[in-house]
A = this chain, B = another copy of it.
Amino acid sequence: MATTDAADITEEETEHIRERNCVVENENVVSSIDPKEMRAVILAGFGGINKLRVTKKTMPEPQQGEVKIRVKACGLNFVDLMVRQGNIDNPPKPPLIPGFECSGIVESIGESTQGFEIGDRVMAFVYYNAWAEVVCAPVDYVHKMPDKMTFQEAAAFSLNYVAAYMMLFEVANLREGMSVLVHSAGGSVGQAVAQLCSTVPNVTVFGIASCSKHVAIRDSVTHIFDRNGDYVQEVKKISPEGIDIVLDCLSGENTGKGLGLLKPLGAYVLYGASNMVTGETKSFFTVAKSWWQVEKVNPIKLYEENKVIAGFSLLNLIFKQGGCVRLKTVMDNLLFLYIQGKIKPVIDSLWALEEVKEAMQRIHDRGNVGKLILDVEKSPTPLMASDSTETSEAGEEEEDPEGDIDNKERMPFIQ
């Protein structure tokens, strides 16, 4: 078979791919230069940011249907925090290399693998293992980058734009004249949503974000509200008839509020549950409590009120549910919009692999506007010298508080 058929990749197989990429750690050669080795971020166990460190690992080699990518940049997403804490469904067993997306250059090609050549600039969805100097991925998860796209943009593109596109156009059926409310409007998905909404005539975007981001993002949305304020009342003042599409990555009490704001035939889409991340280490009881506190929905109430509630998890869709086959058309449409200049990833900041803790802290604190990128070729900032994560130990049982002082001393490189 010339190419790997994505529809045939089962959950077991993606798990196998993950495990194969995650080769045996070689602790004793951190400083050596071995062409068979690579630097990678390791999550030693579920918990706080001190479970993360950079180490050397044996480089993976591409199997049939795969390409090997020399990674230039990786995307950092809120879901990576949830992985770190173990707050996801069926988490893999640590130690593991986190990360679900990257960009880079094709370095070699597996047997019977078609569609790519060595030297191609690509972006890839990866089932873990993205935060490393080298990644192998099945070709159906790899897409060529447009010439004018930077590696940083490419690492910011795959997950967020595909998620925003599929939610708006495949789940919720966005059309001319509609209104969209998006939580975390300053985040990377929020910014992708706002840009995609602007490609449809006469769409009104209601963005919810921390006040500190309002100046930075006010041009990307029609109306903006403080996440700590009573956004429901403020939205109703502007749009008493309600909203057509609500996109919520928070869950919790926002689910009931979102459903309440919908117009008849409106759709509430839950695409994350970041309210489950409390800033502490994994807690079964925290997760269980969050789960049960979510308001359950009675289908007959939806019937009487003419409402739609949807859940959307792109990672589950493409890595566990065979949804990879849908990626090509979506990515083609998105790259066309990118080439036309209608969409363009907003990069919040660039970080060295060794700065992953600080980068995660920034996402946790919701300090970012747009995407955080791990730039594989970037050196840590000078302040890093006295605080190398390479020397930190895995497997510590005690947890640092997330906002410890050391981490706040290093400023990110803001574009």
Contacts and interface: CB of A to CB of B under 8 A. Distances in A.
B300 A251 contact: yes
Contact of A303 (B265, B312, B321): B312
B316 A306 contact: yes
Given A291-B300, A304-B89, A308-B171, A322 B265 contact: no
Interface stretch (A18-26, A268-276, A337-345): A268-276
A211 to B, nearest CB: 27
Contact of A321 (B264, B298, B302, B313): B264
Interface string A284-303: 00000001001111111111
Given A296-B296, A298-B296, A322-B241, A270 B303 contact: yes
Contact of A298 (B272, B291, B307): B291
A173 interface: yes
A326 to B, nearest CB: 8
B321 A311 contact: no
A265 B296 contact: no
A396 to B, nearest CB: 30
Contact of A265 (B264, B305, B323): B323
A313 to B, nearest CB: 5
A302 B313 CA distance: 9
Query: DSSP class of A's interface residues: helix, strand, loop or mixed?
Result: mixed
Contacts of A295: 299
Interface string A245-274: 000000100010000000011010011110
Nearest to A302: B311
Interface residues of A, number: 42
Contact of A302 (B265, B270, B301, B322): B270
A147 interface: no
A322 B264 contact: yes
A230 interface: no
A310 interface: yes
Interface in A64-107: 89
Given A255-B299, A294-B298, 11 more contacts: A170-B265, A264-B317, A265-B323, A270-B299, A270-B302, A297-B298, A304-B311, A305-B316, A308-B311, A309-B309, A309-B310
Interface of A: 89, 166, 170-171, 173, 241, 251, 255, 264-265, 267, 270-273, 291, 294-313, 316-317, 321-323, 326
Top-3 shortest CB links A-B: A302-B311, A303-B311, A296-B296
25 contacts: A89-B304, A171-B308, A251-B299, A251-B300, A251-B303, A255-B299, A264-B317, A264-B321, A270-B299, A270-B302, A273-B300, A294-B298, A294-B300, A297-B297, A299-B311, A302-B310, A303-B313, A304-B316, A305-B321, A306-B312, A306-B317, A306-B323, A308-B309, A308-B310, A309-B310
